[in-house]
Structure 1
Amino acid sequence: MAIAPTDEQRSVRRLGRGKKPAEGEQGIETSDSVTPPPKMRRRPLLVAASVAAVCLGALLAVLAFTSMNSAQEVLAVRSTVHRGEVITRDDLMTVRVGVDPALKPLPASELNDVVGKRAAMDLTAGGLVTSEDVTSSVVPGKGMSVVGISLAPGAYPANGLKNGDAVRIVLTPGQQGQYTSGSTPTEIPATVVDVAAGGSGGQQVVDVLVPEGQAPDVAAMAATGKAALVLDSRER
């Protein structure tokens, strides 16, 4: 004879039916399977390359910052100025560069002081201007004279003359192959201070700097048209 369950037993059975079985319990299978997360593979070379790239970028940034802070505004040559020529404002420009401590270029603030002075040596376009490149000396100086000589082609070097060139003024023979005057020296050392075209026929007018006492002889040689210029070594 079956015994009817009590109300308490019925309540316990109802609770047991609604309870989900725990996952992993023996004899109970779960319908939903959980996929484990993939393992991340470490790549040492990639990590090292990333670190190196970051370090390199930081180094370049530091170098750029240092270069900008060490740059100075200095004077540079815009167009070539030959030795002895007057320096004009158009001949100069200001540039901002990182200057080697061994160099002593003039700062841009001295632009007005340099304009009007003369080039102590040939100033090449693009170069920096130093205090040794300019001079306040007036040409001609005391005890010196400037004489202009008109020279026909063949009486001066074909490769041209430049300001500052050391030359010799040579008295050329007359028609009979003799010098025109026994009292005039056959050659006089001089320095070129300016060169200009002398008109048609390829003539050039060359201003030369000579000692004051020899200026009359040079002028006499130039007046006769029997003078030539010999270019001596440009090596200093």
Structure 2
Amino acid sequence: MAALVAAGGLLAAYAYTSLDRTEAVLVLAGDVARGATIEQSDISVVRLSVDPALSAVAATDESRIVGSRAAADLWAGTLVTEDSIAESVVPVTGESMVGVSLTSAQMPSEPLYAGDQVRLVLTPEGADGSGGLGQTLRTIDAAVVNMSDVAETGSTVVDVTVASDEAAELAAVAARGGVALVLETREK
């Protein structure tokens, strides 16, 4: 009988300490599409034992989350993490995102990061040796959003945001490989 009482006491102590290690965190009560504003009705509070590596958003930060944007498609029941929210959507009004495929000769060897300010140089159509080198070079200011390497071609696709009225020209020139990228200063 004494062993059962002792085992029961140990089980109760374990249950109490397990409950003590839970945290109140935010989860999604409904689906939220990428870029949509997160509303109060989209989130709820649950108590979980959360691994610190998940960067879960504490229930006390609820007011910071309401009104932010979904950084990706978020599904009901998903834990809200710092990576699942964004302050704004990309591209913003008046901007467009263009993917530019570049070889190592068309960009600096210095790694690029999201947010880097760059200048895209539109090379003349005849820069391949067929004439046209006397043309004035045109440049477009841009910001890096993302980069991905394409193993099959050895190129790098750099997603950039540019003014909407420059996007079509940039996309057309990039499609023929006529773009070089210049990294601007990172000093603030």
**TM-score class, shorter:** 0.5 to 0.7
Q: Please list every run of 5 or more consecutive structure 1 residues that lacks an aligned counterpart in the other structure.
A: 1-72, 74-88, 95-106, 119-128
Deviation at residue 155 of structure 1 after TM alignment: 1.0
- Select the structure with the greater relative contact order (CA < 8 A; seq sep ≥ 6): 2
Q: Percent identity?
A: 38
Which of 205, 210, 214 lines up with 2:157 in the alignment?
Answer: 205
CA contact (8 A) 2:69 2:88 kept: no
Question: How many angstroms does 1:189 deviate by?
Answer: 0.5
Query: CA shift at 1:197, angstroms?
Result: 1.2
Paired residue for 1:136, among 82, 87, 95?
Answer: 87
What TM-score do the two structures reach when normalised by structure 2? 0.53
The Cα offsets for residues 57-95 of structure 1, whole Å up to 9 and x where unpaired, read as xxxxxxxxxxxxxxxx9xxxxxxxxxxxxxxx966257x
1:175 corresponds to 2:135: no
Q: Which consecutive segments of 4 or more residues in structure 1 shift more than 6 A?
A: none
Query: Which residue does the alignment assign to 1:217?
Result: 169
| CA separation of 1:153 and 1:143: change in aligned 2, threshold 3 A | same
> Across the two proteins, how many residue pairs are aligned to each other?
123
Q: Letter of the aligned partner of 1:176 in structure 2?
A: G
Please report how far the alpha carbon of residue 177 of structure 1 lies from its aligned counterpart in structure 2 after TM superposition. 7.2
Distance in 2 of aligned mates of 1:215 and 1:190: 10
* 1:50-65 → structure 2 map (5 Å cutoff): none
Q: CA RMSD of the aligned region, Å? A: 3.5
Name which one, 1 or 2, has greater alpha-carbon Rg: 1
**Contact 1:170–1:228 (CA<8 Å) still a contact in 2?**
yes
Residue number in structure 2 paired with 1:92: 55
1:232 maps to what in 2? 184
Q: CA deviation at 1:200?
A: 2.7
1:11-37 Cα offsets, whole Å, 9 max, x none, are xxxxxxxxxxxxxxxxxxxxxxxxxxx
In 2, Cα distance between equivalents of 1:220 and 1:181? 20
Amino acid at match of 1:175: D
Unmatched 5+ stretches in structure 2: 1-22, 24-51, 72-81
1:161 pairs with 2:124? no
What is the distance in 1 between the residues matched to 2:172 and 2:134? 10
Structure 1 length as normaliser, TM-score? 0.44
